[in-house]
Chain A
Amino acid sequence: MADVIWCKKDVGGKPCNTVNYLDPYCFWNWEGRINCAECGTVYFIHTIQGHMYRGPDEKPGEKPDLSPLYADKPLEGYKGYYPGIKGKTRPYECLPRHIYLGKADMVKFSIRGRPVRGWRPQPPSAGLAGSFPYKWDIQKLSPDVWKEYQEKKKKGEVKDW
């Protein structure tokens, strides 16, 4: 299915109001039980070609077959559950790294330990009309990173490959 389960389960006198996103390829044709990321309520759904053929039917006491990848709460500032929160959302395995940031990674050194300009903010260094030279004067512009680099070199952390 490609749909959402907007969970209205009453939790402590308030509706849960969590939107569970059922990602389109996984749930396009699917049958089973899925939990709400916030309150854990288990729903049975059966989808065919993206349409909910049956469900969502509450299945109290049963275990979910799968969790959503992502859910959020539109009424509370869109607070979200990222993939891979234990007991809430299912982990997303096929990632480029063991960690997932979803925001810019501040990188100062390449994998072989040499400086790369992957962090912000950078001190201004342009000349007239935004012109740049053909050298990154790291020693002058970012002396702390330069120092860190010298130490890395001493420690043998700078490699050829």
Chain B
Amino acid sequence: MAKDPRETRIEDLPGPKSKGELEEMKIPYEEYCRKAFDPGNEWSKPDALKGVRWLSCTMYIFTPHSAANLAELGAEVIKIEIPRMGDAMRHTSPFNEAYLYPLHDTRPMTGTGLGFTNANSNEFYLSMDYHIPEMVNVFYRLVKMSDGLTELYRPGTLDRWKMSYRYLQEINPRFIYVWGGGFGYGPKVFGGSYDILGQAHAGLASITGMHEYMGGHASKHSNWCIDWMSGTLISYGVLASILWRRKTGLGTMIEFSQVQTPTRISGYTFPLYGRFGIVRQRWGNWDTQLCVHGIILCGKSDFPDAQNPQDKHDARYVMVSAFNDPDFKELCDITGLKNLYGKYKAHKDRVDALPQVEIYTALEKWAADKSRSQVVKTLTDAGVLAAPVMNDRETYECEHYRERGTIRWLDDPLYGDILLQSGHSVGMMTKTPRRTNWIWRPVGADNVKIYRDMLGYPLSKIEEWYNKAYI
């Protein structure tokens, strides 16, 4: 406000404050977004979580991802791994075919499999065998200098080593401690867990895949979706705790079980069972609540002569959506299925199970002599929503994702030319965008950086620990 309240200043009024701002208000929305998000120039903007330091005592995908989210948002994350071996996930690769080398110098023939990708970006890599008594104090030093940690050991393990929240809150009351695992306290407390166990055990698998009468089986989500999504929910819980700590100065402990996540994201499934005793079943590529809103098989592939079998055999599927009445009418008109429109004018009628079977069967019959692109073009030209089911290559080549910077090439400091699908794709932010600096580093690659440059141990000590395989 101006000193004299009677004075009117432009900066106190709502609306644009300068000519530049006025111009900004006038440019088309898309252009505005492009400028505001400015993909490719993330590093000209600050990090959201500047100053937050996190310890990642993790393995596999689930708990690592909880820390990677923070690292992409600008926190300093230290990943602690078993000396010489590293995270078990480093030893996973699709059909044993894709690795980057080296794992570290002592094992020149072993690489890190691509399975490790995206779960540990931007982190510093420390190796430490923390159940060796001499290392416990080193670990405590890290705890005193950090905001929190994520760990995944069997409940009680770190407690035995006096590294559980019970002990750590004494040395750092601001500390936020996360245990991530399968089950947590309760009768199955010691049950091990993986992503696939979450998919299976919590009901997601029972509602994914083709229905039995279609000849289908319960289908796995191709990716480790429950690991990843649970990791993100931990990041969410951590950030909420950090915000609360701003008020109270106190840390907390979060016990997070990934097997719970698929249940949480299953929508009406559990309320429906609870009230009506109905056990939801698989419904394949169709939607239980909307029709038409499903994926159909076309007769011909778009690339019958391609070398890659995925292009050659599988460029045949189209997502079609016309659940609103005028859209459904348009769809029936263009496909010559006018009788279906006559029969199922109201959404309530066509979304029932048997009509769905009839409608999709008729659509697939219509598409039986057409290629995927023909089907998409015919429907799109008629103003109906349709999209080809895209594979990795097509996603890579899609102009939309390139211009948005959500798929881009990374000049990784140690591994070279890496095609990047993570980090920048997880939401754009105009002022503190996420970013990826490197995909990962070899086991213990930052030992000197952390042990000496951060914790102040002499180089001779570090070398001694290394030779004893403590680190």
Number of A-B contacts (CB under 8 A): 142
Cα distance A117–B445 in the bound complex, in angstroms = 16
In contact, A112 and B409 (Cβ under 8 angstroms): yes
Beyond A102-B95, A116-B418, A118-B100, whether A128 also contacts B448 by CB under 8 A is yes
Cα distance A112–B100 in the bound complex, in angstroms = 17
The reply on A97 being an interface residue by CB < 8 A is yes
The reply on A156 being an interface residue by CB < 8 A is no
In contact, A136 and B95 (Cβ under 8 angstroms): no
In contact, B101 and A122 (Cβ under 8 angstroms): yes
**Which residues does chain B contribute within 8 Å of A25, judged by CB atoms?**
217
Most buried by A among B96, B105, B127, B459: B105
In contact, B97 and A116 (Cβ under 8 angstroms): no
In contact, A110 and B445 (Cβ under 8 angstroms): no
In contact, A96 and B447 (Cβ under 8 angstroms): no
In contact, A131 and B313 (Cβ under 8 angstroms): no
In contact, A120 and B102 (Cβ under 8 angstroms): yes
In contact, B96 and A116 (Cβ under 8 angstroms): no
Most buried by B among A103, A121, A132: A132
- Among residues of B, the one whose C-beta sits closest to the C-beta of A145 is B416
In contact, B416 and A126 (Cβ under 8 angstroms): no
In contact, B109 and A120 (Cβ under 8 angstroms): yes
Q: Which of A67-103 contact B (CB under 8 A)?
A: 93-98, 100-103
**Which residues does chain A contribute within 8 Å of B462, judged by CB atoms?**
128-129
The reply on A114 being an interface residue by CB < 8 A is yes
13 additional contacts, CB 8 Å, given A101-B95, A120-B111, A130-B106? A93-B309, A93-B313, A94-B314, A95-B309, A96-B309, A104-B93, A109-B417, A117-B100, A117-B415, A129-B444, A129-B447, A130-B445, A134-B414
A positions within 8 Å CB-CB of B: 25, 93-98, 100-105, 107, 109-112, 114-122, 124-136, 138, 161
B positions within 8 Å CB-CB of A: 93-102, 104-106, 108-111, 127, 217, 307-310, 313-314, 397, 402, 409, 412-419, 438, 441-449, 451, 459, 462-463, 465-466, 471
Q: Which 6 A-B pairs have the closest CB atoms?
A: A114-B417, A130-B444, A129-B466, A132-B445, A121-B108, A110-B417
Question: Can you give 30 contacting A-B residue pairs, CB < 8 Å?
Answer: A93-B309, A94-B310, A95-B310, A96-B94, A96-B308, A97-B309, A101-B96, A102-B96, A110-B416, A110-B417, A110-B418, A115-B416, A116-B416, A117-B414, A119-B101, A120-B102, A122-B102, A124-B102, A125-B105, A128-B448, A129-B447, A129-B463, A130-B104, A130-B127, A130-B445, A130-B466, A131-B448, A135-B413, A136-B416, A161-B409
